[in-house]
């Protein structure tokens, strides 16, 4: 693999879900959860993804790992198309591709003890003998800050944050190359959050891990990411180096988002950009720029023409007609 | 002051597991008054959700059991209420937004079905009226797509599920709203919208709100008073301003230091050293002592009480407590800290 090949390259990814209705469950429409999304991630890099609830972050993450099959587009991992792999090859590839799920409760088998949950991926991928696996499970628990005694418990016996850490430990178990982390710290209090973020940074350094880090917490994303992508209604609307994005957000949605971050200081009053209007439905996205009904800078062209996702220089991508004017 | 809407006194709730007794809640005092928003923060696993589930009467029993204390709701002790009474109160006078939406949404029923059912259990109204109420409320939480009532939980994004639950909890205008991490799955613009909605409910109808969150930015914006828990106990309680300006307990201080801030960039975040104690074997003395940078001799021996440091500011720490028996002198850093 040459220096310039990214570890993960996603091009024009699109994923729709059917909307069913009526007594016969007929397909009556379609939700475009991910709409023409393009980005790449270098080895050892962290790409943060932020955006409105329901904008397609989780679906993007799942489709990249082929937990969902895309409608169209391309996903390349280490220069090879993931979409071309057969079942068996894909199964083997999963050792390198792991996911930390947003909803830990729904993603952990309630009938398995924690030790079994953590050991299972090791068995599936034939890693180590029984003794080594047991040691590995203990090590994983230690790494995510859980007690040895927790190994024999079931998921429902844990608090929300503890369950999230079980999910993180499971994702780490096969020593993957890419981890799609879907809101990995949103269930954690700040002191454990800082432990997990430090942990993820350490593991990244140690194993040259690559992260696709999905979160709605802009402070956390700023802390951990090298680059950040902002999604709105299934589309990527801005993508830039971390410092650049936070210093000079160009898309009006990104600007509103950054202005709404609550500040942990009761005496600081921030000037919030209040967005007007409701979040539109992905089953019936607005024409032109999907953000136009809520955009404080909307122009006529925004209502009819979809803005291109274009590089404004130095890898700062923006999809907004305001860019054409300057 | 008037009688609180919710008053928890010396609550002890333990889980009896085959490995031993987990003292998930161990002597908690907490009150929420009409028109007040109280924040509940603390380490993951410290007992915040369990405390609120106990108020709702939703602790699985066994293995859980309230072993001591009272939970008064509008004067009535809920630990003695019958299941039937609890069902009447729950969802109506008292509602909860749960931390994990999938645990409280039934995957087999459509969103409309669940909301209409919840409304009609407590209000006599037609199906159509209930539907309208549901749609109205969903709109307020920012879900306006027309087909939403016919959709099933798995078809919604994480944040949408959370908002459906918020709608369900708020639609009947409860006296007490317990919100367990209500906005964790939401982006900040929608979070702001939901928080405004909760504030409006609180100001317009005097709804008492217990807000469990680990987002100290949300605490700073929303709460009148804040209760900090650690390992099943309350370790600090004070008003919002003093919590941020002058935190007393070393755990609270560590918590505030751990927040990643938008305006600064650090390679590593501060994190409180050590691990949360094993709930089956709490440390002797102060439960925070093994991780506390100020710990001194007495901390490892005797348990500090939750006592006032000043008017309306409580802390459970030996640094601010008189040691009757005159056990040695206070270390300098400890004195500096308490001033
Ligand atoms: N059914 C159960 N059996 C045994 N222990 C339990 C059970 N349910 C909860 N616990 C324990 O009770 C303690 C408190 O859990 P709780 O869910 O209240 O934590 P929390 O403060 O809400 O944490 P988080 O911020 O992670 O949500 C935890 O140590 C947990 O492991
Ligand atoms: N399995 C599914 N079937 C039908 N629709 C789905 C499915 N999964 C997601 N969707 C829809 O796709 C859209 C994007 O959902 P997704 O979960 O990717 O959002 P998200 O950005 O992760 O949001 P959140 O921040 O709330 O988690 C939503 O409108 C959602 O309702
Ligand atoms: S009592 Fe002692 S150990 Fe406990 S928090 Fe205070 S200083 Fe630390
Ligand atoms: Mg999601
Ligand atoms: Mg909880």
Domain locations along chain A: 8-96+178-184+206-325, 104-175
Q: Given an 8 Å threshold on Cβ–Cβ distance, is A201 in contact with B45?
A: no
pLDDT value of position A103: 74
Beta-strand pair A97-100/A178-182: parallel
> Which residue CA neighbors atom 1 of ligand 2 most closely?
B155
Q: What's the average model confidence in pLDDT over A239-263?
A: 93
What's the confidence (pLDDT) of residue A326? Answer: 62
pLDDT by 10s per residue, chain B, length 339: 578 999 999 999 999 988 888 899 999 999 999 999 999 999 888 899 999 999 999 998 889 999 999 999 999 999 999 999 999 998 889 999 987 776 778 888 999 999 999 899 888 899 999 999 999 999 888 888 778 899 998 888 777 888 898 899 989 889 999 999 888 777 788 788 888 889 988 998 899 999 999 889 899 999 999 999 999 999 999 999 999 999 999 999 999 998 888 777 777 888 888 777 777 778 889 999 999 999 999 999 999 999 999 999 999 999 987 654 444 344 444 444 443
Atom of ligand 2 nearest to the CA of B157: 17
Q: Which atom of ligand 1 is nearest to the CA of A163?
A: 26
Three-state DSSP state, A308: coil
Q: Is the pLDDT of residue A116 over 90?
A: yes
Q: With beta carbons under 8 A apart, name residues in chain A contacting B103.
A: 105
Chain B residues lying within 8 Å of A266, measured CB to CB: 220-221, 240-241, 244
Contact A219 B191 (CB under 8 A): no
Interface test with B, best of A18, A22, A54 (most B CBs within 10 A): A54
CATH T-level topology, domain A8-96+178-184+206-325: Rossmann fold (3.40.50)
Is the pLDDT at A289 greater than 80, yes or no?
Answer: yes
Nearest CA to ligand 3 atom 3: B289
The secondary element (H helix, E strand) that includes residue A104 is helix A104-107
How many whole angstroms from its chain centre is CA A224? 13
**Across the strands, what pairs with A214?**
A49, A182
Best to test chain A binding among B44, B140, B241 (most A CBs inside 10 Å): B44
| pLDDT value, residue A79 | 92
Substitution site in A155, A158, A184 for ligand 1 pocket (most atoms within 8 Å of beta carbon): A158
pLDDT, position B141: 84
Cross-strand pairs, A247: none
Residue A178 has pLDDT above 90, yes or no: yes
Any B CB within 8 A of A18 CB: no
- The pLDDT value recorded for residue B335 is 40
Contact A215, A159 (CB under 8 A): no
- Which residues in B lie closer than 8 A to residue A190 (C-beta atoms)? 214, 216, 255, 258-259
Q: What is the pLDDT of residue A278?
A: 64
Round the average pLDDT of chain A to a whole number and report it: 89
Rg from Cα positions in chain A = 21
pLDDT at residue A302 is higher than 50: yes
> What are the E-state strand segments in B85-219?
94-97, 176-180, 208-212
> In A42-165, at which residue ranges do the beta strands (DSSP E only) sit?
46-51, 72-77, 80-81, 97-100
Complete edge-to-edge strand list for the sheet that includes strand A46-51 = A97-100, A178-182, A210-214, A46-51, A227-232, A235-241, A317-318, A310-311
Please judge whether A275 and B189 are an interchain contact, meaning their C-beta atoms are less than 8 angstroms apart: yes
At CA B53, angle to CA B52 and CA B59, rounded to 5? 150
Sign of the dihedral through C-alpha A280, A284, A285, A288:
negative
CB of A192 within 8 Å of any CB in chain B?
Answer: yes
Query: A159 in ligand 1 pocket by Cβ < 6 Å?
Result: yes
Q: Minimal Cα distance from A294: which residue of B?
A: B189
pLDDT at site A23: 63
Q: CB A78: neighbour CB atoms within 10 A?
A: 16
Question: Closest-lying ligand to the alpha carbon of A62?
Answer: 2
Closest chain A residue by Cα to residue B41: A189
Give A-chain residues touching B189 at CB under 8 angstroms: 52, 256-257, 260, 275
Closest by Cα among B10, B40, B13 to B27: B10
CA A160–ligand 1 middle distance (angstroms):
7
Say how many Å lie between the CA of residue B52 and the centre of ligand 1: 11
DSSP state letter for B2: P
Q: What is the pLDDT of residue B1?
A: 57
- Tally: H helices and E strands in chain B: 11, 12
- Residues of A within 8 A of B250 (CB-CB) are none
- E-strand spans in B160-220? 176-180, 208-212
The residues, any chain, with a CB within 8 Å of residue A75's CB and separated by 6 or more, are A8, A9, A10, A11, A13, A63, A64, A66, A81, A82, A83
Contact A140, A132 (CB under 8 A): no
Pocket-testing residue among B250, B272, B330, ligand 3, by greatest number of atoms within 8 A of Cβ = B250
Which residues of A, range 125-154, sit inside 8 Å of B by Cβ? 145, 147, 149, 152-153
Taking the CA of residue B298 as reference, the ligand 3 atom at the shortest distance is: 2
Please give the DSSP secondary-structure letter assigned to residue A289: S
Residues of B in contact with A243 (CB under 8 A): 265
Mutation choice for ligand 3 from B288, B298, B330, CB with most ligand atoms inside 8 A: B288
CA–chain centroid gap for A100, Å, is 9
Q: What percentage of residues in chain A have a pLDDT greater than 70?
A: 95
pTM of the predicted model as reported, rounded to 2 decimal places: 0.81
Rounded to the nearest angstrom, the minimum Cα separation between B98 and chain A is 11
Q: What is the mean pLDDT of residues A179-195?
A: 85
Q: Is B14 in the pocket of ligand 1 (CB under 6 A)?
A: no
Kindly give the interhelix angle for A160-172 and A114-124, rounded to the nearest 10 degrees.
20
Integer Cα distance of B43 and B237 in angstroms: 15
A210 pLDDT more than 80:
yes
Cβ partners under 8 Å of residue A33, min gap 6: A15, A16, A17, A56, A59, A234, A282
Residues 287 through 316 of chain A touching chain B, CB cutoff 8 Å: none
pLDDT of residue B29: 95
* Cβ–Cβ under 8 Å, residues B28 and B47: yes
Residue labelled with tokens 């090590």: A139
> Considering CB atoms only, which of A54, A152, A272 is closest to B192?
A272
């Amino acid at each position: 693999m040459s220096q310039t090949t990214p570890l993960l390259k996603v091009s024009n990814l699109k994923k729709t879900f059917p909307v069913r209705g009526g007594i016969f469950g007929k397909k009556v429409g379609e939700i475009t959860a991910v709409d023409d999304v393009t980005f790449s991630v270098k080895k050892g890099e962290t790409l943060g993804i932020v955006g409105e609830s329901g904008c397609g972050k989780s679906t993007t993450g799942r489709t990249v790992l082929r937990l969902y099959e895309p409608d169209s587009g391309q996903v390349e991992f280490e220069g090879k198309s993931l979409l071309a792999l057969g079942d068996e090859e894909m199964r083997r590839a999963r050792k390198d591709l792991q996911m930390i799920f947003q909803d830990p409760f729904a993603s952990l088998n309630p009938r398995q003890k924690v030790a079994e949950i953590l050991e299972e991926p090791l068995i599936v991928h034939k890693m180590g003998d029984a003794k080594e696996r047991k040691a590995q499970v203990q090590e994983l628990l230690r790494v995510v800050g859980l007690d040895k005694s927790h190994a024999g418990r079931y998921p429902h016996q844990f608090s929300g944050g503890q369950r999230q850490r079980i999910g993180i430990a499971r994702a780490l178990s096969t020593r993957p190359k890419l981890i799609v982390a879907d809101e990995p710290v949103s269930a954690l209090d700040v002191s454990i959050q800082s432990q997990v973020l430090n942990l993820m940074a350490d593991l990244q350094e140690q194993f040259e891990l690559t992260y696709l880090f999905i979160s709605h917490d802009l402070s956390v994303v700023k802390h951990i990411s090298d680059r950040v992508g902002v999604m709105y209604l299934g589309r990527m609307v801005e993508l830039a180096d971390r410092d650049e994005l936070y210093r000079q957000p160009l898309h009006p949605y990104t600007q509103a988002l950054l202005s709404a971050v609550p500040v942990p200081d009761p005496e600081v009053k921030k000037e919030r950009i209040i967005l007007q209007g409701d979040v539109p439905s992905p089953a019936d996205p607005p024409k032109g720029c999907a953000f136009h009904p809520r955009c404080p800078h909307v122009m006529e062209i925004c209502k009819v023409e979809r803005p291109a996702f274009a590089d404004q220089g130095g890898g700062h991508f923006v999809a907004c007609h305001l860019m054409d004017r300057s | 002051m008037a009688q609180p809407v919710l008053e928890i006194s010396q609550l002890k709730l333990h889980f009896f597991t085959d490995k031993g007794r987990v003292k998930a809640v161990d002597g908690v005092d907490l009150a929420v008054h009409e028109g007040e928003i109280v924040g509940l923060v603390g380490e993951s696993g410290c007992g915040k959700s369990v405390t609120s589930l106990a108020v709702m009467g939703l602790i699985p029993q066994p293995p859980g059991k309230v072993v001591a204390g009272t939970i008064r709701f509008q004067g009535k002790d809920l630990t003695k209420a019958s299941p039937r009474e609890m069902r009447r109160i729950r969802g109506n006078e008292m509602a909860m937004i749960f931390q994990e939406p999938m645990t409280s949404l039934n995957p087999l029923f459509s969103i409309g079905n669940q909301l209409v059912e919840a409304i009609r259990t407590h209000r006599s109204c037609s199906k159509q009226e209930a539907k309208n109420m549901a749609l109205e409320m969903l709109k307020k939480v920012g879900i306006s797509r027309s087909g939403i009532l016919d959709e099933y939980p798995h078809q919604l994004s994480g944040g949408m599920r959370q908002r459906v639950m918020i709608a369900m909890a708020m639609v009947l205008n409860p006296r007490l709203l317990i919100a367990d991490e209500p906005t964790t799955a939401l982006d900040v613009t929608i979070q702001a919208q939901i928080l405004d909605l909760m504030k409006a409910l609180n100001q317009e109808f005097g709804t008492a709100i217990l807000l469990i969150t680990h987002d100290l930015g949300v605490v700073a914006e929303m709460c009148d008073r804040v209760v900090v828990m650690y390992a099943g106990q309350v370790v600090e309680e004070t008003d919002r301003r003093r919590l941020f300006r002058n935190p007393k307990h070393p755990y609270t201080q560590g918590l505030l230091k751990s927040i990643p801030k938008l305006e600064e960039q650090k390679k590593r975040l501060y994190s409180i050293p050590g691990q949360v104690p094993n709930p089956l074997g709490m440390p002797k003395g102060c439960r925070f002592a093994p991780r506390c940078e100020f710990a001194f001799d007495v901390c490892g021996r005797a348990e500090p009480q939750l006592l006032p440091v000043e008017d309306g500011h409580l802390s459970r720490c030996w640094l601010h407590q008189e040691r009757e028996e005159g056990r040695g002198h206070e270390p300098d850093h400890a004195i500096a800290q308490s001033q």
